[in-house]
Structure 1
Amino acid sequence: MEWENIAVPSGYLISWKKALNLRRMSMRIDRYGEVISVQSEVERNGFTMSVHVFYIDGMLVDTGASRMLEDLKEFYEEVPIEFVSITHPHEDHTGTAAWLLREKSVPIYIRDTAIPQCRTEADIPAYREMIWGERAAFDPSPFGETIQSDHHTYKTIHTPGHEENHLALLDEENGRLFSGDLFIHPKPKVIMEDESVPVLMRSIRKVLEHDFEEMFCQHVGYIRYGKAALKKKLDYLNEVSEQVREMYKEGRTLEEMNNELFSDVPAIVPLSDYEYDSRHMIRTIIEDAAID
């Protein structure tokens, strides 16, 4: 690998080979062009999920969960972090933000309407704290319409659906999207209670209006053909929405729809005490159909 090809803010001396060769049982570090991807994995009661933080040109995208902190500290000490961009305030994206602010004194940016909840310790269900750990209070600054590193400019695109303050970061010049939790899976079977399938679909359509190819997802990692992957997810959600709307017109109950469309129950459903559930997908589609 040609480490010198990575854009580094002027005035910094760093061993990139050392940074990318950091290895622990629960951490993996990879490079995709200019982007460094740091992956950690959590496993609790049959539920397993990867979490990624990304680094490029002095910018850190999201901060992972607090349970990742011991793994991430060495990486944070090795790379010249100039600022942090957070896609949304969930604890698996903001978990080490307080440490970064306290120990590295770097500015942290998030959507303006998410700032009040970041200034207090997160009040999260017990199962989420068990999986991700606590999220300490921190004091971020608001994004503008764009944010700029030394060599790149990113457009901040409001993409609610997964979370009301969710943003995606788009480098239009290089066709690169940091998608936060907009993607996660091409064919989701469950969502959280406060998510919305129709709102998520509108956000995906908004992003697809832009020109990009590569996508960096906080739970999947690097997706070479990211725009195609998002289109595949939108097609799937369209198909599910049409099925639900037809069943709704036929007078089918939510339980009948759920049994037919989503008979398999993922481990996260009982683990979350049904905060994650396929019923929330159906319910939000029905609510949107009723409004129409």
Structure 2
Amino acid sequence: MLLKKRSNFGERHGVSYLNGEVKFQGVSLNVYSYLIDGVLIDTGSRSLHKYFESFIDEADFDQVMLTHFHEDHTGCAAYIEKTKKLPIYLNEKTIEYCTQRADYPLYRQLFWGRRKPFHAKSMPETFTSRSATWDVIDTPGHAHDHKAFLNRDTGQLFTGDLLVSERTKVILAEESIPTIIHSLERVLTYDFEDVFCSHKGFVEDGRLALERKLANLLSVQLNVLALQNVGDSAEVIRNKLFPQKYPITKFSGGEWDSIHIVTSIMKE
């Protein structure tokens, strides 16, 4: 199989980053790792280890903060545990899972590689870096252990996979739109300026982007519930609200699909 891989390194507003990308059969996926004030936020994927490990080798940091357990964010955590022997922090809900052999579908292994087991410490509610204090914000929905990190001193917010796209079209089967709505509402109560997304990178007017995503999801929720109230099935609602088909749906065997947006709302 022909996978195309590349990366780019940069710096924005005092935050260094590495962005790695994998392309296969018209599907392109990317992920960021960020470095600021001695903190490494997420570690990239195992499939892109030659890029992320080089970034890690050259980086000066004291601790690792993981937004959530997904393999594109934790893929090089084992490498850090082996070579740096620095504390790695993760939501306690998934610490045990990450000590075990990774178990996820083959297409995700193709894109992101096979995450090696690693050991993490329980994520605190706040933490300090070399010159700042940080808030750790519960933001579940995309993943049940998802966290966002806010540097109180700089007003920089690292949102993991909370934003990604302002207009959500497909989600993972285990995601919950109502829970994501609550997470967006929660994070918007904080005072922040810069937004760094794990897939979009630095987001211009980040607060507005998060507000637009929230407004869009609230609108989708209202539309789904209205159609449910007149007796439409989840499949009919999906076809009305999300008629376009996306390559990732077929490629993932339906793990990524618009239908999950609808069913997560109908379940609430």
Normalised by the length of structure 2, the TM-score is: 0.96
Match of 2:137 among 141, 157, 175: 157
Report matched runs for 1:171-250 at 5 Å: 171-250=151-230
Q: 1:41-120 residue pairs with structure 2 within 5 A? A: 41-120=21-100
Scaled by the length of structure 1, the TM-score of the pair is 0.88
Maintained 8 Å contact 2:53/2:76:
no
State the match for 1:123 in structure 2: 103
Question: Deviation at 1:111?
Answer: 0.9
Q: CA deviation at 1:173?
A: 2.6
**Paired-residue identity, %:** 36
Q: Which amino acid aligns with 2:142?
A: H
Deviations 1:192-242 (A, max 9, x none): 010000000000000001111211100000013111110000000011111
Residue 15 of structure 1 aligns with which residue?
none
Instruction: Read off the aligned partner of 2:110 and give its amino acid letter.
Output: M
Question: Which shifted more, 89-98 or 73-82?
Answer: 73-82
Alignment partner of 1:38 is 2:18: yes
Structure 1: which 5+ runs fail to align? 1-24
How many Å separate the matches in 2 of 1:130 and 1:260? 32
Match of 1:26, SS state, is strand
Q: Looking at CA atoms only, which structure, 1 or 2, has the larger radius of gyration? A: 1
Q: Which residue of 1 aligns with 2:235?
A: 255
The alignment yields a C-alpha RMSD, in angstroms, of 1.0
Partners of 2:45 and 2:75 within 8 A in 1: yes
User: Which moved further from structure 2: 69-78 or 219-228?
Assistant: 69-78
CA distance in 2, matches of 1:134, 1:97: 12
Cα drift, residue 33 of structure 1: 1.7
Matched, 1:269 2:249: yes
Structure 1: which 4+ aligned runs deviate by more than 3 Å?
none
CA distance in 2, matches of 1:191, 1:255: 15
CA contact (8 A) 1:45 1:271 kept: no
SS in 1 for 2:61: coil
Distance 1:72 1:172 in 2: 27
- 1:75 is displaced (CA, Å) by 1.9
